[in-house]
Structure 1
């Protein structure tokens, strides 16, 4: 008892018999309980002791029968003024029925006066239970305060934050998500996110969540695009972190950060670069290329005149003419490389066909291009350029580093996805990287895939390498004007 109880306890003893009061005090003192006693025998004195905030009682002992004042009336006062303080009846006239009535009324316990040896144990148990209740209540208050604090902090974040259970049902949502969904909290709690946010991207995120529950791995900064009902495109990064209870995943905490402005800035920077490349390509083709072509025509005339008047110079002029023809071809190739995709002349498929031919000629290997039966929609020029550059990087790697002899480029629409694959029969990606080959090209391809709102995988199906890019078609199409609406915001 000394280890569990404070050094000195404050007890209020309601007892009209002085001898009984002394016996009670002696019994507790004999068992090592240090008590600061307040002995009262009337209702008013008892009430004053209860109201004394300077010396609040730790426990109350009361007789059941007193002149003009009984124990049940005292118990009602305690429940009103000190509901957390244990109340023990110590009486010689308390029968079984009264004892049951007293306990139902809120008494902690009772001890008969002819069995006072039980009193220390009963007191100790009552004080221990009271302390545990008090600590539990304090913990609940602290927990509620923490919950309110965390709820306020989460609601104040600009990022979307939510939590789901193992059935992907929402258990926590913040204000940013509710504002995005334009729904009230009670309308989303307990439901799957895909039920209240019916978007293909959300279904994909929930599918990934199933793998997180199995593996326990965190998925961070996955970029996804969402088309709003008014046709605007909003970009988000998703992070999903397992919520564990003793190493068991019991849910996920997810954050969604909008990066629409960041993506727009990145796109604008890339578009500036693309515009500058197209301008340089146009200047090369229409400026230097045309001037070289004109010079070639003049040289042809000179060659014909020299063939008649000074044949000894004809061979030299022919060499100059050949060099000039090669310079014209190089200029055209350079111009085409700066602006590889021309939407007015076949678009991406035509550009990939030319890439296959050029790869065959340049690297002396067999490079082919195929496309699916489904007609491709008109792609936005920036998106088409990203796709072309990915194919260009992949074919270059296959020829230079993988020592491939065949390369197959395939472009097709599958449902609502556009798929670009480049397969070769070389030594494989892992072998190439193991030989210290540069890996910057892979990172650039991954970056371009993210800019398209898609995913890219690098596979090694037994022999060679297969690179597969998959992106949503609705993010790649050319923006068109519709009546009553502004142009859709460019995504790629």
Structure 2
């Protein structure tokens, strides 16, 4: 106590001399434990093991009059913060203050890490909610296009066919035929829009959907597109197929708009509990400036969508083209939480005086 007071530390001190007394004392929160190495029927190293076995992060300083170097090294490996010789107790107060400050810094970091973990979880939940809302809105819009626009176009087409059959002059028949062709094109456009809004092809499975998308992309753009898969059928958890489908859709859209590619490959594989979807092209590649653009929402959207199902996106790009890889673990651990630690100053002396809904769920029918 004298050396602590000389160092400017006014502390609440509790002296214990047995393992039972130590266990009872550890039911409270302490800022520092000072332990003699030699105790009656006990030892400082045993006390240290007891403290750490209980999960207590309180700083621990070992004090002895005859501690050897190997014992000191062992104590530090077991979690002691410092060791002092009784012949040099002038270091006690500075060592105690340093250990307490280091522990409080560690506690502050744990609180910050916990807050960051919770913040990230909230962001994931928000992204999850937004993706759910977006897919539900897309499904609703697709239904309205099908029921209202599609129905109206079909009715107009019947009326135009009647007019063409009953036309009294060739000019009227020709105009009716041209109008029917325009209505047919509009009807095909609504089908394409509905599919983009809500890919019903996914009901046949992810493999079939990606095969269809690759074939359609090749026909529409003229870019040679090859689709490969490790499995003809895949059993995936809810949400994963839609994330993979949207990833491939966005990737191929970027290829057609920016890559200037002549060849694209789409590879789907499931191995080691991870689903991998790779889209590669032989285009001009992405520069670091392209990836660093503040408004690079396409790439950013891929990352955010992958995170909603616990996945991630890897991008590699160079003079020979660009490769985007979506990886989704089909199972994963849950996040834990840190225990809170009380910050009030106190010292325990042993033998001395001194931290809803799936985001990619299909919209309701």
TM-score bucket (shorter structure) = 0.5 to 0.7
Cα distance, 1:300 vs structure 2? 1.9
Cα distance, 1:468 vs structure 2? 1.2
Q: Which runs of 5+ in 1 are unaligned?
A: 1-105, 107-129, 162-220, 222-236, 238-256, 476-487
Give yes or no for contact 1:356–1:367 (8 Å, CA) kept in 2.
yes
Q: How far apart, CA to CA, are the structure 2 residues paired with 1:368 and 1:391?
A: 13
Counterpart residue number, 2:174: 315
User: SS where residue 453 of structure 1 aligns?
Assistant: coil
Q: How far apart, CA to CA, are the structure 1 residues paired with 2:301 and 2:196?
A: 18
Superposed, which structure 2 residues align to 1:450-469 within 5 Å? 450-460=307-317, 463-469=320-326
Q: How far apart, CA to CA, are the structure 1 residues paired with 2:148 and 2:174?
A: 29
Counterpart residue number, 1:376: 234
> Residues 459 and 349 from structure 1, CA distance in 2 versus in 1: closer, same or farther, beyond 3 angstroms?
same
User: SS where residue 368 of structure 1 aligns?
Assistant: strand
Q: How far apart, CA to CA, are the structure 1 residues paired with 2:229 and 2:120?
A: 33
1:349 is aligned to 2:304: no
> Residues 144 and 395 from structure 1, CA distance in 2 versus in 1: closer, same or farther, beyond 3 angstroms?
closer
Work out the number of aligned pairs and report it.
Answer: 253
Ranked by relative contact order (alpha carbons within 8 Å, sequence separation 6 or more), the top structure is: 2
Superposed, which structure 2 residues align to 1:19-168 within 5 Å? 133-146=88-101, 149-150=104-105, 157=111, 159=113
User: SS where residue 490 of structure 1 aligns?
Assistant: coil
Give yes or no for contact 1:399–1:405 (8 Å, CA) kept in 2.
no
TM-score for both structures, normalised by structure 1? 0.45
> Residues 442 and 262 from structure 1, CA distance in 2 versus in 1: closer, same or farther, beyond 3 angstroms?
closer
Q: How far apart, CA to CA, are the structure 2 residues paired with 1:489 and 1:314?
A: 54
> Residues 319 and 353 from structure 1, CA distance in 2 versus in 1: closer, same or farther, beyond 3 angstroms?
same
TM-score for both structures, normalised by structure 2? 0.60
Q: How far apart, CA to CA, are the structure 1 residues paired with 2:89 and 2:289?
A: 68
Counterpart residue number, 2:131: 270
Counterpart residue number, 1:296: 157
1:339 is aligned to 2:198: yes
Q: Deviation above 6 Å: which 4+ runs of structure 1?
A: none
User: SS where residue 231 of structure 2 aligns?
Assistant: coil
Q: How far apart, CA to CA, are the structure 2 residues paired with 1:413 and 1:285?
A: 35
Give yes or no for contact 1:368–1:407 (8 Å, CA) kept in 2.
yes
Give yes or no for contact 2:284–2:321 (8 Å, CA) kept in 1.
yes
Counterpart residue number, 1:470: 327
Q: What is the aligned counterpart of 2:267 among 410, 414, 424?
A: 410
- Structure showing greater radius of gyration is 1
